[in-house]
């Protein structure tokens, strides 16, 4: 059972387009993180969202945490080729006795010049 | 070094052999995680250490897998009698005590290929 689901699984867009990827769960999370992973490297943390309804912006990337803290979205404005990579959401489930951090299956983004 | 260091970066082994994968976390980080990632897939949780203790080993796929951490620092993941389905990238991550849960710093991984 996948505790964190992501959609779409694959996304190929032209440079300059906007896109949104989603991370969903039936469980409540104390926080959610978004990571980006490039081939041959480990994931790199982009952002953490903690409060329900929170919106964070990182240059052209906008992250939102759902009011119920069960879902999150990542919106990229005017995508660039450098945005290409695997986007992973992750979180520690609310109420767990320790920080077991689980990951979603990822969205593979390809930005075509 | 400043980041999480993993070795070897690549390992090719024959089915049935044992392998050891090493992780050097960022100095002072008390939490250490092992994940497994198959080609193009997400990360599968294997085990978590807080200090030298592993509160949850339920992610280990079978009893052929074991992990230890010594001195609250270096960790070793051992796979005995490797099988072809063990082929994957094994990622290690660490996080500081007091940091936000889920904020992990990853190494570049150890790519294991079992022939």
At A5-46, the pLDDT tens digits run 999 999 999 999 999 999 999 988 888 999 999 988 999 999
Distance from CA of A34 to the nearest CA of B (A): 9
pLDDT for B25 beyond 90: yes
Of the candidates B109, B63, B52, B105, the one whose C-alpha atom is nearest the C-alpha of residue A101 is: B105
Q: Which chain B residue has its CA at the smallest distance from A106's CA?
A: B42
| Whether B41 and A105 lie within 8 Å, measured CB to CB | yes
| Predicted confidence (pLDDT) per residue in A76-111, tens digit | 999 999 999 999 999 877 655 556 788 999 999 999
Spatial separation of the C-alpha atoms in residues A25 and A69, rounded to whole Å: 9
| Whether B104 and A90 lie within 8 Å, measured CB to CB | yes
Residue A69 tokens read as 């803290």
Name the band, by pLDDT with cuts 50, 70 and 90, for residue B57. confident
| Whether A101 and B33 lie within 8 Å, measured CB to CB | yes
Q: Which chain A residue has its CA at the smallest distance from B41's CA?
A: A105
Residue A96's pLDDT is 57
Say which DSSP state B84 is in: G
Residue A35, strand partner residues = A45, A88
Distance from CA of A66 to the nearest CA of B (A): 17
Spatial separation of the C-alpha atoms in residues A87 and A99, rounded to whole Å: 21
| Whether B40 and A108 lie within 8 Å, measured CB to CB | yes
Residue B72's pLDDT is 84
């Amino acid at each position: 059972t996948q505790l964190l689901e992501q959609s779409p699984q694959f996304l190929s867009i032209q440079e300059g387009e906007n896109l949104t990827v989603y991370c969903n769960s039936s469980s409540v999370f104390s926080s959610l993180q978004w990571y980006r992973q490039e081939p041959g490297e480990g994931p790199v943390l982009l952002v953490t969202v903690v409060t329900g309804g929170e919106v964070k912006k990182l240059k052209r990337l906008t992250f939102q945490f759902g009011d119920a803290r069960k879902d999150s979205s990542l919106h990229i404005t005017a995508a660039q080729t450098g945005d290409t990579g695997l986007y992973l959401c992750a979180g520690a489930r609310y109420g767990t006795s320790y920080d077991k951090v689980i990951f979603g299956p990822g969205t593979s983004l390809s930005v075509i010049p | 070094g400043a980041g999480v260091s993993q070795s070897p970066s690549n390992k090719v082994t024959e089915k049935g052999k044992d392998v050891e994968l090493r992780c050097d976390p960022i100095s002072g980080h008390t939490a250490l995680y092992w994940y497994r990632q198959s080609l193009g897939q997400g990360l599968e949780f294997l085990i978590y250490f807080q200090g030298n203790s592993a509160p949850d080993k339920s992610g280990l796929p079978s009893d052929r897998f074991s992990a230890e951490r010594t001195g609250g620092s270096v960790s070793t993941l051992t796979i005995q009698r490797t099988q072809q389905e063990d082929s994957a990238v094994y990622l290690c991550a660490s996080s500081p005590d007091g940091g936000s849960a889920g904020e992990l710093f990853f190494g570049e991984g150890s790519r294991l290929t079992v022939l």
